[in-house]
Amino acid sequence: MTYAQHFSTRKTPQTEQADPRQVKNSAGGYSFEITPWQRLDRFLILGCEGGTYYATERKLTIENAKCVQTCLADDAARTVEAIATISEQGRAPKNDPAIFALAIAAGVKGPNSAIALAALPRVCRTATHLFQFCEAVKNFRGWGTGLKRAVAAWYNQHDERSLCYQITKYQQRNGWSHRDLLRLSHAELKFPVVGRYMATGAEGLGDRQVTRKQQKLPVTYASVGELPAYLAAFEELKHADAKRTIELIRAHGFTHEMVDSQHKNNVDVWAALLEKMPMTAMIRNLGKMTSVGLIAPLSEAAKTVSSRLGDAEYIRKSRLHPIAILLASRVYAQGHGDKGSLTWATNPRVLDALNEAFYLAFGNVQPTGKRTLIAIDVSGSMTCGSIAGAPGLTPNVASAAMALVTMRTEPEWHCVGFSDRMFDLGLTDKMRLDDVVHKASRLNGGGTDCALPMLWAAGSSVKVDTFVELTDGETWQGHIHPHQALRAYREKSGVQAKWGVIAMTATSFSLCDADDPGQMAFVGFDASTPQVLAEFAKM
């Protein structure tokens, strides 16, 4: 009998524990467990909508919510700062996880609640965010003094023009309205006319009597004066013809949400809206503007859109996340929306501009000059769930798109796909984003063996300085653990290769051995990941 064939510290099946620090992952294999702080970052950036192949959305949400609670118990100030920083810096595709995490923090009794509520303006920058927060926080607490003060302070942080913009652009969400929040928070706004307008509309600004149920006599409210010019113009906008609507848009910067539906197919109205349209709104409405004929071949609108999408500084200031561009590219390329009946003829110039903007949204990533092997997990589990809840943006599609950043940046690279075997994906750095999305969306193959890229490189005598692996981390099928395969590759090749693992789901598992400085776990679609990965590769 050869006893060594049954036990080795250098070559262990992934269904068995290779290190005492490892735990069983959702697929039944063994992986290292990340710290609660690392998982917090994953959740804030990736979310957990749709769950994964091995874990339901509910299970993942509960696990991540408990992780937030663990971090709060350990260091509430650090937790809230992490939530606010990731939200403020635009590192996450969506703000929803940060809002939910802040609501959990605000629901904890004691001083931790005050720390969370103080960060409310940093995380909830729009009225829509505020409505989301109030919907979430009711699951953890009532309307005590601290919450009332925080909501009132949110309104009073704005100057008059900014407050008017917030209450007209974001009028209600999830059953919440500004009137509801004024009533619950007992807010006394520093602009009484605006406050009265929020509570009663334009018709309630004069003297009025209200009989409350708990009082026998009516309460008299005195007149508060005339509406500010912006709100007066907004009231006029509700009933204006197309010509006057265009004049009001240009004079006051009204957005498409404020325009009466009868003008939503007017090309001249959309032209006026485009002049000052924010970047995020612009990419969300590319299909509509193309459909009405504004973005036409050789048009000024197509030129304007392309110019903005090619402006790195404009993208940076707008905090436009790569995921938003990826989604816009996917939808615009298909010529129809995911919902509804809207269709359009795709403008190639705009599609090219979206492609360029995707790279610009990651910032100025510097090449390392290292020999880089990009390995994309295309196993069956990568087709489940979604990145930040984005429809159709499964981990395998997002991984292929993110791999383009490294492919375009590095001069020496090779890209492979893997599941329980290796694939030639046929991806090139010359491909347009929509082509890669189309190709990746058809990938679906088998179980998961995250050791394969290192085994393939060793068996093919390929010299690799940096392995970059994009995966959900649910490895289980191989006869050797990935960190052991990396060690074996280093010994055989003589190259002290580094290994960066980019996690595409918000689980608690990692393939990396934290004791090895040549291994590092990253969060997929954190806007800062490509640059941090490059810095790691150069160390």
- pLDDT, tens digit only, all 539 positions of the chain: 454 554 456 788 888 888 888 888 888 888 888 899 999 998 999 888 766 766 688 888 888 899 999 999 999 999 999 999 999 998 888 899 999 999 999 998 788 899 999 999 999 999 999 999 999 999 999 999 999 999 999 999 999 999 999 999 999 988 899 999 999 999 889 998 998 899 888 876 655 555 555 555 565 555 557 889 999 999 999 999 999 999 999 999 999 999 999 999 999 999 999 999 999 999 999 999 999 999 999 999 999 999 999 999 999 888 888 888 988 998 999 999 888 889 999 999 999 999 999 999 888 788 999 999 999 998 888 888 888 777 778 888 888 888 998 998 999 999 999 998 998 888 888 888 888 877 777 776 778 899 999 999 999 999 999 999 999 888 888 889 999 999 999 999 999 999 999 988 888 888 999 899 999 999 888 888 888 999 999 98
Give the H or E element holding residue 396.
Answer: helix 395-409
Q: What is the pLDDT of residues 476-500, one digit of tens each?
A: 888 899 999 999 999 999 999 999 9
Using a 10 angstrom Cβ sphere, with 0-12 exposed, 13-18 middle and 19 or more buried, the burial of residue 188 is exposed
pLDDT at 394: 84
Query: How far is Cα 71 from Cα 76, in angstroms, rounded to an integer?
Result: 7
Candidates 179, 103, 168; CA nearest to 141 is 103
pLDDT at 3: 41
Radius of gyration of the chain (CA): 26
Query: How far is Cα 307 from Cα 274, in angstroms, rounded to an integer?
Result: 13
3-state helix, strand, coil in the chain (%, to 5): 50, 10, 40
pLDDT at 34: 87
